[in-house]
A and B are shown apart, each in its own frame.
Chain A
Amino acid sequence: MSEQFEPRIVAFFCTWCTYTAADLAGVSRLKYAPNIRVIRVMCSGRIDPQFILEAFAHGADGVLIGGCHPGDCHYIEGNYKCLRRAHLLKRVVQDMGIEKERFRLEWISAAEGDRVKTVVNDMVAQIKAIGPLRLPSRFKQWDAEMRELEATVNHTEEMTHASQA
C-alpha cells in the first residue's frame, strides 16, 4: 500500500454538548484530523447500539460517541442510558474481534472545543497505529468462504446420498 491509511471515523454527537463543542472548535479555528464524519442526534441517549454496529459493518474504522458530562444532560439522564449501552456494547464489539480503541465514548461539554480536537486527533492516531478494520471486504471474504464450505458440504452430502442409494 503506497498511500497512507486514513481511518474513517463515524461520530455521533449530541446536539447540546458535543455537537456545539465541535462548532466551537470551528469558530475557534482549531485544526484537527479530517477523518471524522459527524452525525447529529438530539441526545446521546438516542444512539442505538445498532448505529455503531452498522457503522463498522459499512466500513468505519472507528466510532466515536460524544455526549454531555454526567449530570449535565439536557434531557436529565440520557447520557447515563448511553453509558450503560456503551459498556455492554464495548464487550460485544471486542468479542467480535474489533479492537477496543475503535469504539470510544467521550463526555465533551459545549465549552470544550479543544477537547473535540484532542479526542479526534488522539483517536485517529490510535487507529492509524492499529490499521484498517475493513469489515465489508472481510464480510465478502467470509461469505465466499461460507459459500465454498456449503458447496463442499452439499457435495459430500450428495456423494453420501448417492453411495447410499
Chain B
Amino acid sequence: MTEKKEEIRTGFYICHCGHNIGSVVDCPAVVEYVKGLPGIAVSRDYKYMCSDPGQELIAQDIREQKLNRIVVASCSPLLHEETFRKATSMGGLNPFYFQMVNIREHDSWVHTDKNAATEKAMDMARAAVARVRFHRALEKKKAPIHPDVLIVGAGIAGIHAALTLANAGKKVYLVEREPTIGGHMAMFDKTFPTLDCAACILTPKMSSVKNHPNITMWTYSEVTSVDGYVGNFTIKVRHKPRYIIEDLCVGCMACIDACVFKQKFEDEFNQGLSKRKPVYIPFPQATPQVVVIDPEQCLKLKTGKCKESCAEACDRKAIDFNQKETIEEIKVGTVIISTGFKSFDAKKLPQYGWGIYPNVYTALEIERLVNASGPTGGDVVMRDGKHPKRIGIIHCVGSRDESTNKWCSRVCCMYSLKLAHLLHEHSEAEIYNFYIDMRTPGKSYEEFYDRLLKEGVNFVRGRVAEITDWAMNKDEEDHLVIRVEDTLAGFVRRIPVDMVVLATGLEAREDAQDVRRLFNIGCGGEGFFMERHPKLAPVDTFTEGIFIAGACQGPKDIPDTVAQAGAAAAQCLALIDAGAIELEPNTAFIDEQSCSGCKSCISLCPYTAITFDAVKKKAVINEALCKGCGTCVGACPSSSIIQNLYEDDQIFTEIEEVLAHV
C-alpha cells in the first residue's frame, strides 16, 4: 500500500425517467444531499440519463471534470448497467469504475410515500458512492462461440429455426423426443384464418429438414445433460432404441403388415381415435419415414417369445431387437429450446363430461376427426357411430379460470372458429359456440370471425356450467344438454346437442421444470419458460446463449411461433457471426499472500475451478472455469479469495453506508 493514493472524484447522476422516478423521488433533493458526500466532484439530475445526451453528459464530465468514479441512480442494472458502463468508457474511463443505483424498480415504482422513497434513494446513493471508491479497472473476458447450434424440440418452431440457421450455413442438431418431427402442427387439419392445410405447408419443411446437409436430425432422442456456458456447451443426447436400423429402413411398412398383433393399441397421433400395432409409423408423412417398435407392447421385446414375422418381412434386415440406447456427446455454442405445449387435460373438468360421455371431444381429437388422413378419413362420425346434427363448441376449457389456468390460451377462439367452419363443412350440422369473450386480434382474424357469423354459426356468450345427459323434457332426451347462462339474453339456457367439442387451453409441458433445470433457465409461475425481458428480449433467457421459441414460452399461434423461431435463430446467428462474446469479469481469484491452504473452498466450487497447488500449498482458481458465483469467497475463513465486482470491501462498505443514515 505504498503507491500514491489517487484523489477520488466521483460523478453522481440521478435520472428522473420522465415521471417514473421524478414523481415519487425528490431528485433535486438527492442531488443536493449527494453533493455533501465525500469525494463528490459532480452531482446532477437529468430527465433521461439513458438517452444519448444523458450518456454524453457523463462522458463529457469525465473528460472535463477529471472524474474517476461514476454513479448513476436510475433503473435496474439488469436493464441499463451496460449502457452506463459504455458511457463511462466513452469518457475515457475504465467502465468498471461505475456503480448503478436502482431507484426505479426498487424504489419509485414500489413505494408511495414520497419522503420515505426519497430517503431510501439517498441511502442507496450514499452506499453506491462509498462503494465505488473501492472499484478497480477490469477487463472483460472474451469467450469464443462454437458455430454449431442445438435445437430442442422439432415442432414448427424448431423446424423453422433449424432451416433458418442451416440456410445461413450453420450446422444444426435438431433433437426431437417423438419418433417423428412435426409436433402439434402435424396433427392439425387446416390452419386459421386462411384455412390452408397444415400438412401442405408443414410437410415440405419437414422434408427440407431431413434432407438439409447442415441439419443433423435426431428423432426419438432426448438431451440428458448440458455442461459449459455460452459459446461452449457440451451436450449429451440419448438416442432411445427404436429397434429399427434407421439407415436401412425405407418406410415400406411391410413389417407393420406382418406383425402378428391386431391393431389394438391406442394411436397417439390420432389422439386414441384409432388403433395401431406395436410396430408403427406415427402418420403417413412422418419424418423420418422410419417405423418404430414400442417395447412395452411388442411381444418379442416384452416376452422374448414371438415368431418375429416383422423381421422376416423386412427385405432390408432393418429390424434389430438388440438395439440399446446410446449416448452421443456434441459441442455447440448456442441452444434454442422449442419444446412446445401440452393441451389442457379435459379430465380435470369432469362437469364437461370428457371421458364420461363418449360424444364429448377435445379440440385436438376433432382436428384428427375432420382430417382427410385421420381415423375416419374426414367423416364426422361420433364414437357411438352416429353423425351429429347439432354440435356445441365450448371455449376457454382450462383457460381464464381461477380453478384451473388463469391465462388466456390465445389460440382457442380462433381454432374454435376454424373447427366450427370445418365441422359444418364436413357434417352440415348446426354449430353453437359458447364463449366468454371472442378474442380475435391478429391479421385477418376478426374478418374470419365475421365470416363465421355470416355462415350462420350460433354464438352464445356465457361460460358453460355443465354438460349432462339428464333430460328435463322430451326434446332433451338422448342428447347431451349444455347448460349455460346466456349473459346477453340474461337467462339460463339448456341447449341439447349431439356432440360437444372442448376448446382445451394450452399449458406448459409436464416436464418443463426438468427441462428448465437441465438448461438452467427460468419458468414463470404458470410453468412456461421465462424470457429475459417480456418486451425487449422475448427469446432470450437468463442464461446467455440459450434461447426460447414457440409455445414453450407461452401460448401462441403458428404465425407468432414462426416469428419467434426466426428471432431465436437470428440471436444465435448474431452470436456466431460475432465469433466471441464478452463475459462479465466477475470471476474470483486467490490472494496468495494470505491463503493458508486450508482447502475449504475447493469442495464448494460446483465447476471444479479451484485446485490445490501442492508445492506452494495454496488454492488456485482457474479463471476460465470460474463462473463468478462467489460461493468460495463467502466461505474463505481468511478472506483470501476476491471476487471482482463483489469484493468484500465493496460489500461491507455498502452495508455500512445503507445504514449510516441517522
Contacts and interface: CB of A to CB of B under 8 A. Distances in A.
Establish whether A and B are touching in the complex (CB under 8 Å): yes
Interface of A: 6, 8, 10, 15-17, 19-20, 22-23, 25-27, 29-32, 34, 37-43, 45-51, 54-55, 58-60, 71-72, 74-78, 81-82, 85, 109-112, 117
A81 B627 contact: no
Considering the complex of A and B, which 6 residue pairs feature the smallest CB-CB distances, nearest first?
A26-B105, A46-B630, A45-B631, A75-B629, A43-B629, A26-B109
A112 B523 CA distance: 10
A15 B106 contact: no
Contact of B606 (A16, A17, A31, A77): A77
Contact of B111 (A15, A34, A76): A34
A42 B586 contact: yes
Contacts of B77: 40
Contacts of A30: 110
Task: Indicate the member of B76, B102, B586, B659 with the most A CB atoms within 10 Å.
Answer: B659
B124 to A, nearest CB: 6
Contacts of B127: 37, 39
Given A25-B105, A42-B646, A78-B630, 15 more contacts: A10-B659, A17-B522, A23-B106, A26-B106, A26-B110, A32-B110, A32-B111, A39-B127, A42-B586, A45-B634, A46-B631, A75-B631, A77-B606, A109-B523, A110-B530
A130 to B, nearest CB: 18
Nearest to A17: B522
Nearest to B535: A27
A58 to B, nearest CB: 4
B265 interface: no
B651 A41 contact: yes
Contacts of B355: none
B655 interface: yes
A131 to B, nearest CB: 17
A35 to B, nearest CB: 8
B542 A46 contact: no
Interface residues of B, number: 54
Nearest to B658: A37
Given A48-B648, A110-B522, A43 B631 contact: yes
B470 interface: no
Nearest to B115: A34
B628 interface: yes
A39 B522 contact: no
A37 B123 contact: yes
Task: Indicate the member of A8, A23, A41 with the most B CB atoms within 10 Å.
Answer: A23
Task: Indicate the member of A29, A45, A58 with the most B CB atoms within 10 Å.
Answer: A45
A8 B256 CA distance: 73
A43 B630 contact: yes
Interface in B612-659: 627-631, 633-635, 643, 646, 648, 651-652, 654-656, 658-659
B651 A51 contact: yes
A28 B542 CA distance: 19
A103 to B, nearest CB: 14
Contacts of B630: 41-43, 45-46, 78
Given A8-B659, A20-B78, A111-B524, A81 B120 contact: no
B652 A54 contact: yes
B543 interface: yes
B520 interface: yes
Given A39-B651, A39-B655, A46 B110 contact: no
A31 B520 contact: no
A81 B76 contact: no
Nearest to A14: B629
Nearest to B79: A23
B50 interface: no
A111 B522 contact: yes
A43 B627 CA distance: 11
Interface string B579-611: 000000010000000000000000010110000
A30 B107 CA distance: 11
A74 B542 CA distance: 9
A40 B542 CA distance: 16
Task: Indicate the member of A27, A30, A60, A117 with the most B CB atoms within 10 Å.
Answer: A27
A76 B609 CA distance: 14
B609 to A, nearest CB: 11
B104 interface: yes
Contacts of A20: 78, 542
B120 A37 contact: yes
A23 B105 contact: yes
B655 A51 contact: yes
Interface in B101-151: 102, 104-107, 109-113, 116-117, 119-120, 123-124, 127
Given A58-B656, A111-B523, A27 B105 contact: yes
A78 B659 CA distance: 27
Contact of B104 (A15, A26, A45, A75): A26
A42 B629 contact: yes
B646 A72 contact: no
A34 B543 contact: no
Contacts of A34: 107, 110-111, 113, 116-117, 119-120
Contacts of B284: none
A16 B658 CA distance: 22
B118 to A, nearest CB: 10
Contacts of B635: 48, 81, 85
Nearest to A117: B110
Given A37-B120, A45-B629, A75-B631, A31 B112 contact: yes
B517 interface: yes
Contact of B633 (A6, A23, A26, A46): A46
14 contacts: A19-B78, A34-B120, A39-B655, A39-B658, A46-B629, A46-B633, A48-B648, A54-B656, A75-B629, A78-B630, A85-B634, A85-B635, A109-B522, A111-B524
Contacts of B631: 43, 45-46, 75, 78, 81
Contacts of B304: none
B109 A27 contact: yes
A34 B660 CA distance: 16
Contacts of B441: none
A8 to B, nearest CB: 6
A10 B120 CA distance: 12
Contact of B106 (A38, A43, A109): A38
Interface string B67-79: 0000000001111
Contacts of B385: none
Nearest to A26: B105
B656 A38 contact: no
Nearest to B634: A48
Given A32-B110, A41-B646, A10 B629 contact: no
B36 interface: no
A39 B530 CA distance: 24
B490 interface: no
A117 B109 CA distance: 12
B236 to A, nearest CB: 16
Nearest to B123: A37
A18 B562 CA distance: 32
A15 B532 CA distance: 13
